[in-house]
Amino acid sequence: MTCAIIDYGSGNLHSAEKSFQRMRREAGGPEITVTSDPEAVLRAERIVLPGVGAFADCQAGLMAVPGMVEVLRQRVEAGTPFMGICVGMQLLATVGREFGDTPGLGWIPGAVTALQPSDPALKVPHMGWNELHIDRPHPIFDGVEPGEHAYFVHSYHVTPDDISHRLAHVNYGTKVTAAIGRDNIVGTQFHPEKSQRTGLHVIANFLNWAP
Residue 189: closest CA among 72, 55, 20, 31: 55
Q: Which residues are catalytic?
A: 86, 191, 193
Query: Residues 191, 151: contact at Cβ < 8 Å?
Result: yes
Query: Residues 206, 81: contact at Cβ < 8 Å?
Result: yes
From residue 173, how far is each of 22, 130, 146 by CA, in Å?
35, 12, 20
- Other CB atoms within a 10 A radius of the CB of residue 115 amount to 17
Residues 95 and 180: their CA atoms lie apart, in Å, by 15
